[in-house]
Amino acid sequence: MSKTYGIVSTKGGVGKTTIAANLGGILADMNQRVLLIDADFQQSLSNFYQITHKSPLGLREALMNANPESCISQTNIPDLHIIYSNDPEQDILTWLRQSSSHVHYFGGMLTHIQDLYDYIIIDTQGAGGILQESVILASDELISPIPPDYIDSKEFIRGTVRMLKNLELPVSLRSIRPAIPSLHGLIYRQDRTNHAKIIAQSLRKQFHAQSDGQVKILQTVIASLSSYKKSAGFKLPVHRIEVKRQGNTPSAHDAMLALVHELEPHLSDIIPVWDKKNMNNTESNINNQSVES
């Protein structure tokens, strides 16, 4: 039975798709069976990797009328599958709004395929909404990238705690719906001038007080590195693109691996392995990585 991570945020453009794609990519290279699901009508995750064997069916059919297994496509990364988004007109949203039990549809779909995978990672559209709510309730755990700016991060606390509290049912009704999953805040796009540790400490304190332990701030911090953008251009996970780097900032490989080991301690003995053939062109292009401001 798989573990499902929902990648959520109350804000757009914070790094959700990048984390969903790269977490999926590194887990697959760590010999895990992984399914990505693109629940954002913008289709960014669907376009992140190459789709090598494409099902004619995508998320619309998986949610609305088909056997979800028939909606799975294969990416260019072995063991990394995807249910792509094919809903540019946001028909799913309209459909979910018409149904009084909308929040259960995503979870219902997953029950048909969760035995096929070790991990299911779902990317969502920023700024909440019915589909994101449905993903939250179908997830075992949530990950939310936190912008490094202090004011943004305070907004993040307020918005995230509100989003989770809104979904909570009164105690008397909790038996009819799964509990709200816990959320990992991931301090994201940290650059050298920011004080990651100070922000992290402050966030930890505030979240502890406001969320009854439901929200935890991860120790792993993801730096702002040009390799994340480059990896999307190469349609490869970033740990393959930037294995090592000079200076104090950990490489993308080391940061993503630290993230996996922190989230999934039972994988601590495993490191990612991939076929290095055909990587020469990409590696020669990434020698002068720089930290973005």
Ligand X SMILES: Nc1ncnc2c1ncn2[C@@H]1O[C@H](COP(=O)(O)OP(=O)(O)OP(=O)(O)O)[C@@H](O)[C@H]1O
Smallest gap from residue 22 Cβ to ligand X (A): 9
By beta-carbon proximity to Mg ion, the closer residue of 30 and 183 is 183
Which residue of 4, 44, 153, 249 would you call a contact of Mg ion, by CB under 5 A? 44
Span of 15-23, 87-95, 97-105, 234-242 interacting with Mg ion by CB under 5 A: 15-23
> Token pair for residue 19?
């984390």
What is the rounded CA–CA span in Å between residue 99 and residue 72? 25
Size of the site for Mg ion (CB under 5 A): 3
What is the rounded CA–CA span in Å between residue 216 and residue 210? 11
> Token pair for residue 208?
């502890």
Span of 14-22, 89-97, 100-108, 264-272 interacting with Mg ion by CB under 5 A: 14-22
By beta-carbon proximity to ligand X, the closer residue of 206 and 224 is 224
Smallest gap from residue 223 Cβ to ligand X (A): 6
Smallest gap from residue 65 Cβ to ligand X (A): 26
By beta-carbon proximity to ligand X, the closer residue of 113 and 236 is 236
Smallest gap from residue 35 Cβ to Mg ion (A): 17
Which residue of 9, 10, 17, 220 would you call a contact of Mg ion, by CB under 5 A? 17
Angle 178-181-187 (CA atoms, 0-180°, nearest 5)?
Answer: 165
- Residue 142 pairs in a beta bridge with 6, 183
By beta-carbon proximity to ligand X, the closer residue of 68 and 145 is 145
Smallest gap from residue 237 Cβ to ligand X (A): 13
By beta-carbon proximity to ligand X, the closer residue of 9 and 160 is 9
By beta-carbon proximity to Mg ion, the closer residue of 22 and 251 is 22
By beta-carbon proximity to ligand X, the closer residue of 14 and 164 is 14
Residues near ligand X, by CB under 6 A: 9, 12-18, 40, 42, 44, 126, 189, 222, 224-225, 228-229, 232, 292
Smallest gap from residue 127 Cβ to ligand X (A): 8
φ/ψ (deg, to 5) at 35: -120, 125
Say if CB 35 and CB 120 are below 8 A apart: yes
Among 7, 104, 102, 84, CA closest to 41: 84
Smallest gap from residue 36 Cβ to Mg ion (A): 12
φ/ψ (deg, to 5) at 28: -65, -40
Q: What is the DSSP letter of 14?
A: S
Longest dimension (CA), the chain: 60
Distances (CA, A) of 82 to 4, 34, 57, 100, 140: 14, 8, 11, 28, 19
AA identity, residue 79: D
How many helices and strands, by DSSP H and E, does the chain display?
Answer: 11, 10
Taking CB atoms, the residue at the shortest distance from Mg ion is 17
Collapsed DSSP state (helix, strand, coil) of residue 35: strand
By beta-carbon proximity to ligand X, the closer residue of 4 and 17 is 17
Span of 11-19, 75-83, 258-266, 283-291 interacting with Mg ion by CB under 5 A: 11-19
Among 70, 26, 25, 31, CA closest to 50: 25
From the list Mg ion, ligand X, none, which binds 129 (C-beta under 5 to 8 Å, kind-based)?
none
**Sites of contact with Mg ion (CB under 5 A):** 16-17, 44
